[in-house]
Amino acid sequence: MTTQEVANRYCELAKQNKWTEILDELCAEDLINKEPGHVISRGIQQVTNGLDNVKAKGIVNREKIEAIHSQDCSAPLVAGNFFTVMLRRSITFKGKPRMNMEEIAFFELRDGKIISEQFFY
């Protein structure tokens, strides 16, 4: 798949909250996931290496969610082997009030697969 095709598919699946499918279909085995430094204070790992470890991290993070009220993904911006999107969601975490979240997601591809994902929020 081209970078544009991967980016379009990512957005399609993200809008449907299909994070497991994104990982299974679009990501390489040696995926690197990077979160902003402030997540450490919430007990979230800042850098995660390997697809299986990223999947496990996702399971733990999804267990903290009580409800996703809405979710959207902007049109991707593509340049070479990179693309970026803005993700928005209205979400309630267990034991917390409902909140709106916005984040920028930045991806790098190699051979049609995502090898690096970095999130800014």
Can you tell me the distance from the alpha carbon of 78 to that of 74, in angstroms, rounded to the nearest whole number? 12
Range of the domain at 66: 3-120
Confidence at residue 43, expressed as pLDDT on a 0 to 100 scale? 80
pTM: 0.91
CB 35 within 8 A of CB 19: no
Return the CATH number at 22. Answer: 3.10.450.50
Q: What percent of the chain has pLDDT over 70?
A: 100
In sequence order, the 6+-apart residues with CB closer than 8 A to the CB of 28 are 51, 110, 111, 113, 114, 115
Domains in the chain, number: 1
pLDDT at 45 over 90: no
User: What is the gyration radius of the CA atoms in the chain, in angstroms?
Assistant: 14
- Other CB atoms within a 10 A radius of the CB of residue 28 amount to 16
